[in-house]
Amino acid sequence: MSSTPTLAYIGLGSNLSEPLAQVQAAIHEITNITQINVMRVSSLYLSKPMGPQDQGDYINAVLALETSLSAIKLLDALQAIENEAGRVRKENRWGARVLDLDILLFGAEIINNPRLTIPHYGIKEREFVLTPLAEIAPNLILPGGESVKVLSQDIANNAMVKLS
């Protein structure tokens, strides 16, 4: 465990079982983890599904937190919250889900192992990640050198709607 907390960004999404309530409950649960200090939470956004369109729209948000947990321990904590919400992991990567919590960035670390890829592999192609991320961290530069603000301005918003 490091003595200096790591700044991490978490993407949240849900499109089943009262998605708004699911995302709000997940934010609450994350704030209750002892080794985590939630710094900022983006607005909530309503977005179209990324994969099959025969599913409901998503509620998405991004939060910034500081943690003394390792990236894998943070992943374990987030997956416990997903499981508690009723998340079922399926083969269909882009299917509907009760709750999806993704570690987008973990400090300046680049991680690529069977359980975790950081930066998150889809961070630069997803308006429902880039827009809320740019909202809470407009000056953030990704490990590859790209500006989150510029990326968010250049991506199509796909009819995404800011809710709050």
Q: Is 1 a member of any domain? A: no
**Residue 63's domain spans which residues?**
6-162
Structurally, the chain folds into a number of domains equal to 1
Residues serving a catalytic function are: 87, 97, 100, 102
What is the domain-level CATH number for residue 21?
A: 3.30.70.560
Q: How far is residue 6 from each of residues 36, 87, 88, measured CA to CA in Å?
A: 10, 27, 29
Q: Is 53 a member of any domain? A: yes
With helix as H, strand as E and coil as C, how does 96-146 read? Answer: CCCCEEEEEEECCCCEEECCEEECCCCCCCCHHHHHHHHHHCCCCECCCCC
The pTM for the full model equals 0.91
As given in the structure block, the two tokens for residue 143 are 């490990």
The pLDDT of residue 49? 81
The pLDDT of residue 16? 84
Q: Is 154 a member of any domain? A: yes
Q: Is 78 a member of any domain? A: yes
Can you give the pLDDT of all 164 residues of the chain as single tens digits?
Answer: 446 899 999 999 998 878 999 999 999 999 999 899 999 999 999 998 876 666 788 999 999 999 999 999 999 999 999 888 765 655 555 556 778 899 999 999 999 999 999 999 889 999 999 999 999 999 999 988 999 999 999 999 888 999 97
What lies within 8 Å, CB to CB, of 115 at 6+ separation is 72, 75
Among residues 77, 66, 62, 78, the alpha carbon closest in space to that of 7 is found at: 66
